[in-house]
Chain A
Amino acid sequence: MADFNVNLRDVGNVSIIDVKGYLDAHTAPELENVFNKLLDGKQFKVVVNFNDLKYISSAGLGVFMAYVETMRENKGDIKFSNMKESVYNIFDLLGFPILYEFYKEELEAIQKFNLQGQA
């Protein structure tokens, strides 16, 4: 069932992961594959664009938990953008805003990486 789609693209030296549809225990491995691909390519600056994501369960949240520290250890990060309120509420319920940066627009997240790069 094609109820989840993940696409990877680059904007400058930042990788953007577009997630679409339903992210659950069945589809989370597809997202893990993308993160593994990024690690293989030593790409640690990541923005996840949630614009087309309709649903997330803890299996999806667990993927970000599993990879974020590796990204940070390598001077990168996983930042989130374009999240619907219903999806954000789940992240909020688990306290993710303490540990992750959320941006309204993808561009703001990219600019934050670029600013950090200059520092």
Chain B
Amino acid sequence: MNYTNKKIEKELVVKSTTDNLALIRSFTKKAAEESGFADETIGKIILAVDEACTNIIKHAYNFSPDGKITISIKFDSSKFSISITDEGIHFNPNSVPEPNIIEYYKQKKVGGLGIYLIRKLMDEVKYSTLTGNKNQVVLVKYLPR
């Protein structure tokens, strides 16, 4: 599929505050509904986007409220792709091991669940660094044929 042939594109730009998560979820929900996913899949996509943005607010911007988060959604009949970009601190999500819930319990750990959830919920997850010190994560869900 040629990337330029995408039928629908939407973009949301928000500041890095947790009170924007509700807005981010409703933006994602609307687009996912338009693409024709089942409710259960829409729920997974919304949660994955929430987790990715929460990580950006917490880790890339360290709760500073002035950071910028750009969420771009593109979809056609075969796949739904969400690209989330920030200009905060780069972190390597591949360094986060898959959590073992019993170990978490023993160590009283509470974080790191988000990245694992995103991987479980989406079909493709790709983190990259763009020019201009931007970080990007692209989340993809395939549409059922």
**Chain A residues packing against B (C-beta within 8 Å):** 1, 3, 22, 24-26, 55, 57-59, 61-63, 65-66, 68-69, 86, 90, 93-96, 98-99
Tell me the complex Cα distance, A65–B107, Å: 10
Contact partner of B120 among A24, A61, A65, A93, CB < 8 A?
A: A93
Which residues of chain A come closer than 8 Å to B109, judged between CB atoms?
65
Mark contacts of B35-57 with chain A using CB atoms, 8 A cut-off: 1 yes-contact digit, 0 otherwise.
00000100100110011001001
Classify the interface of chain B: helix, strand, loop or mixed: helix
Which residues of chain A come closer than 8 Å to B22, judged between CB atoms?
1, 3, 22, 24, 26
Tell me the complex Cα distance, A51–B113, Å: 24
Is the CB of B108 closer than 8 A to any CB of chain A? yes
- Return the chain B residue nearest A63 by Cβ: B110
Q: With A25-B21, A57-B50, A66-B110 in contact, is A86–B40 under 8 Å at CB?
A: yes
Contact B108 A98 (CB under 8 A): no
> 15 A-B contacts, Cβ less than 8 Å apart?
A25-B50, A25-B57, A26-B18, A55-B46, A57-B47, A58-B114, A65-B110, A86-B43, A90-B47, A93-B117, A93-B121, A94-B101, A94-B113, A95-B102, A99-B105
Contact A69 B21 (CB under 8 A): no
Which of the listed residues B25, B58, B101, B116 has the most CB atoms from chain A within 10 Å of its own CB? B101
Contact B57 A58 (CB under 8 A): no
Contact A26 B101 (CB under 8 A): no
A90 CB to nearest chain B CB (Å) = 7
Contact partner of B116 among A57, A63, A94, CB < 8 A?
A: A94
Q: Which of B60-119 contact A (CB under 8 A)?
A: 99-102, 104-105, 108-111, 113-114, 116-117
